Amino acid sequence: GAVVSQHPSWVICKSGTSVKIECRSLDFQATTMFWYRQFPKQSLMLMATSNEGSKATYEQGVEKDKFLINHASLTLSTLTVTSAHPEDSSFYICSASGLAGGPTDEQFFGPGTRLTVL
């Protein structure tokens, strides 16, 4: 159990376009979802935390108008990279956790989405 999926697994887009990445918890209700970014040979950096039905909390230095996060349901969160540029090329990873005290209150990670902006 506790499976998190991401779609797409990889995407290539032109500079200036927007890209949407989906993160789904397949077998549990995710009250909190996290979005991370990972550049080559670096560690994961948290971008934002979102709770279902409320606005995301962004980490310092992450532009909320560029990285739009929607957590409209307990099983789906989306990250939209607006007006993508080559420097946004990265590996984007989501994680999800369920109800505190329950079997899914730890973080479970998706497989990641590799974004390449040309």
Which positions lie near other proteins, rule CB under 8 A? 4, 6, 31-32, 34, 36, 43-46, 49, 51, 91, 93, 95, 97-100, 105-112, 114
- Full DSSP string of 34-79: EEEEE-TTS--EEEEEEETTSPPEEPTT--TTTEEEEEEETTEEEE
User: Which of 100, 63, 95, 96 has its CA nearest to residue 82?
Assistant: 63
4 vs 81, beta carbon nearer other proteins: 4
17 vs 59, beta carbon nearer other proteins: 59
Residue 16 Cβ vs other proteins, minimum distance, rounded to whole Å: 26
40 vs 86, beta carbon nearer other proteins: 40
* Residues 80/77/12/108 CA torsion (nearest 10 deg): 140
Residue 112 Cβ vs other proteins, minimum distance, rounded to whole Å: 5
The residue type at 60: Q
45 vs 118, beta carbon nearer other proteins: 45
Residue 73 Cβ vs other proteins, minimum distance, rounded to whole Å: 17
